[in-house]
Amino acid sequence: MDEREMLKSLIKYDYSVVDAEDTVSKVVSIFEDSGKGAVLVREGDRIIGVIRDRDLMRGCVMVNPHETKVKNFVIKTGVLSEDELSVEKVARRFVEDSTPFVLVKTSEGYGAIDINDFLNAVKGEFENLKARDVMNPEVITINERESVAKALATMRNHGIDRLVVVDDNHKVVGIVTGKDIIDRVIAPKRESRLGKGGGKVDRSLSIMVESVMSYPVITADRLDPVPKIIDLMTENNISSVVIVRDMIPEGIVIKKDLLEILLKRRSPAEFQVQLITKDISLDEFDRKALMEDLERFMRKFGNFLGNAVLFVYVKRHKENFRGLPLVHVRLKLTSDKGTFFVTGESWGVEFALNATLKKLERAVLQEKELLLDQRMVKKFYEETIS
């Protein structure tokens, strides 16, 4: 079976579909019944995107779900045709759309490729890799006795939606996600204010993280093969696995990390730049200007980094100052010299990106100086011994 036929075999047609004019309350019940992470959204006779459970839960906190329309939360996604299916294109759609499945237009209508099915199908491409080769060593943690409010602030500061929860000995005891906090703290609090609590406790953001975290945590060893990590993710229907030694976190592997590595291995150019935006629209001129800045950075350090891929995630917050939106930027640079990860925020896309690029430049320069120091020490000892 060739690659395209393999991908065609993954297409499913049993996904729930809602109309863009339906109310949010209808979709909430679908999520509760199906357990799926996203639902297709239709406008007329066309599928225009998806609505994800985590976005919907955040939205339900702010609006009346019985009056608000689904179209307010839909994520517009790309759609692939059967004829253009390839592993690279499907992986890129997963990365850029940040959804649990990729939409495919077929002769039978719209279908979808689930991320778990896709990872299972391509896990052979990772057979020579260990968890240590793909994990992000920068694990953002929070103590189990810290407040939920601090957990939310930490997630926002780092541009992530989950934290590894540790005890006083820094051993992993749980994971807390933004959805956990919404489901178990914010949504019940809102329902209580509306008189719909049904006896639920009115919880505050000052409660401890251990009260809302999920456990036990699915963990693995740094020497475990990546196909085993993929099996853990798909069998437990989770998007991340914590890499531990004696239950102390050494790294974390997220599905998006695996997709990024797959793209890098499939397209071994000297360097690549992937720009992904959320809740913000860039015209052709702005996108071109940003790409020029990013490519200039990559060329500047090209000789040092070797083969490298820079993933740029740009997200808009709701706050505005003098007409400029608050923009969060997350940069992940994977290269022959290692992985670099930085985040930053500022008013306006250009300022936010440049400020974060400066952080990344400092991180690369520090690594470059460290390697130079190591070479100088080695040379000193070699000359002394000789």
374-385 pLDDT per residue, tens:
555 454 445 445
Q: Which residues in 95-123 are b (16+ Cβ under 10 Å) and which e?
A: bbbebbbbbbbeeeebbbbbbbbbbbbbb
Greater confidence (58 vs 89) lies with 89
Q: Do residues 279 and 98 touch, judged by C-beta distance below 8 A? A: no
d(C-alpha 264, C-alpha 270), whole Å: 10
The residue ranking higher by pLDDT, 40 or 223, is 223
| Cα of 203 vs its chain's centroid, Å | 28
- According to CATH, where is 3.30.160.100 located in the chain? 268-377
* Cα 212 to Cα 234: distance, rounded to the nearest angstrom: 24
pLDDT at 325 exceeding the cut of 50: yes
Terminal alpha carbon distance of the chain? 60
Is-contact 222 135, C-beta < 8 A?
A: yes
Residue 270 pLDDT class (50, 70, 90 cuts): low
Please name the residue that has the structure tokens 């057979």. 127
Is the predicted pLDDT of residue 63 greater than 90, yes or no? no
Q: In this structure, how many other beta carbons lie within 10 angstroms of the beta carbon of residue 46?
A: 11
Angle subtended by helix axes 3-10 and 87-97, to nearest 10: 40
- CATH number for domain 268-377, candidates 3.30.160.100, 3.40.605.10, 3.40.50.720, 3.90.800.10: 3.30.160.100
The predicted pLDDT at position 191 comes to 53
- Given the candidates 3.20.20.120, 3.10.580.10, 3.40.50.10790, 3.30.70.20, the CATH classification of the domain at 131-257 is 3.10.580.10
- Containing 158, the helix (H) or strand (E) segment is helix 148-158
Six token digits for residue 24? 């949010």
What 3-state class would DSSP assign to 259?
A: helix
pLDDT at residue 370, rounded to an integer: 67
More confident residue, 380 or 296: 296
Chain centroid to CA 185: how far?
23
Q: In which residue ranges of the chain is CATH 3.10.580.10 found?
A: 3-114, 131-257
How confident is the model over 110-136, as pLDDT tens digits? 889 999 999 999 999 999 999 999 998
Which token pair is 192?
């209580």
Choose the most confident range, by mean pLDDT, from 36-40, 199-203, 229-233, 270-274.
229-233
Classify domain 3-114 by CATH number: 3.10.580.10
Segment 191-219 shows an average pLDDT of 73
Q: Is the pLDDT of residue 93 over 90?
A: no
Section 187-193 average pLDDT: 55
pLDDT for the residue numbered 150:
93
Computed over every residue of the chain, the mean pLDDT equals: 83
Q: Which of 106-115, 186-195, 286-295 has the lowest average pLDDT?
A: 186-195
- 249, with CB counted inside 10 A (0-12, 13-18, 19+), is buried
Reported confidence tier of residue 73, pLDDT bands at 50, 70, 90: confident
pLDDT in tens, 1-38: 789 999 999 999 888 888 989 887 777 777 766 666 67
Q: Are strands 172-177 and 162-166 parallel, antiparallel or unpaired?
A: antiparallel
